[in-house]
Chain A
Amino acid sequence: MKARDLDGGLPLEQPLMSGGGVQHRPASHRDPYEALDDLMAAVEVLCPRWPTRELFKSSGVWVL
């Protein structure tokens, strides 16, 4: 389920929350980067080590 904008707009996507079945949306006037900073501060405490991310491949498709 998706949280919906208070003004009836499209859902604000929050995969981390919605994946757990939790409905929540920050106040619509809030800077999303402030919300992201808050989220990451919490995530960094809970998940101090991330899985290793792969490197780019030179042989890939680069058309953009």
Chain B
Amino acid sequence: MAALSRLGRQLTEVVATFNLMGVHFALIGGLALATHRVVRATQDVDLLTDGRRADEIDSALLKLGYSCLHRSSDAGNYLRGDERLDLLYATRTTARNLLAGAAEVGTAFGALHVVSAEGLIAFKLQGWVNNPRRGQDLEDIRALVRANRNTLNLAEVREYFRLFKREDLLEELLNESPGP
């Protein structure tokens, strides 16, 4: 199915490029929410990808017409017109495991790997801790917990909140969405 939206066309192009390069990647951010029962509008494409391929990815994106706005060993922001592409580079064990474990999902945009709900919560938490003004990350965590309360691996989720020293926040969220 050809994408109707500009976001869909942007995603399709990036996916085709990464697949051609043999770069392993997985959806995170607003696009990944759809796999986990949360559908909301989203502005940009967010991907978790192999940090060891960051230089090759940078070259490929520049060829596609993107400009690099920011790049570190952890993450990169790219822009083409008003199309944003944000990348997190899997370099540490946790992110590499989440990338390796990302399930393949058949979607309207073709087969895509998507990070688990637990992993998506972890990345949203990291985003919120790094920029608490981004309330959308916290709202996404809340929605993910509510929509997946019966199937979440809570031990894994607790470990992520412990990493960021936000255990109290998780308890608040769980109390808002009591389990069975």
Contact = CB atoms under 8 A, between A and B. Distances in A.
Partners in one complex: yes
Contacts of A39: 5, 39, 41
Contacts of A41: 4-5, 8
B17 interface: no
A13 B34 contact: no
Contact of B43 (A11, A12, A53): A53
Specify the main secondary structure of chain A where it touches its partner: loop
B147 A13 contact: yes
B164 A63 contact: yes
B40 A37 contact: no
Contact of A36 (B34, B70, B92, B146): B34
B149 interface: yes
Interface in A6-62: 10-16, 26, 31-41, 43-44, 49-50, 53-58, 60-62
Interface in B1-51: 1, 3-8, 31, 34-35, 37-44
A14 B140 CA distance: 11
Contacts, number: 135
Contacts of B175: none
A10 B149 contact: yes
Interface residues of A, number: 35
Nearest to B34: A32
B39 A12 contact: yes
B146 A13 contact: yes
Interface string B69-86: 110101111000010101
Interface of A: 2, 10-16, 26, 31-41, 43-44, 49-50, 53-58, 60-64
23 contacts: A12-B147, A13-B39, A14-B39, A31-B108, A32-B37, A34-B107, A36-B42, A40-B8, A41-B4, A43-B5, A44-B5, A53-B84, A55-B70, A56-B75, A56-B77, A56-B130, A57-B130, A60-B131, A61-B130, A61-B164, A62-B75, A62-B92, A64-B94
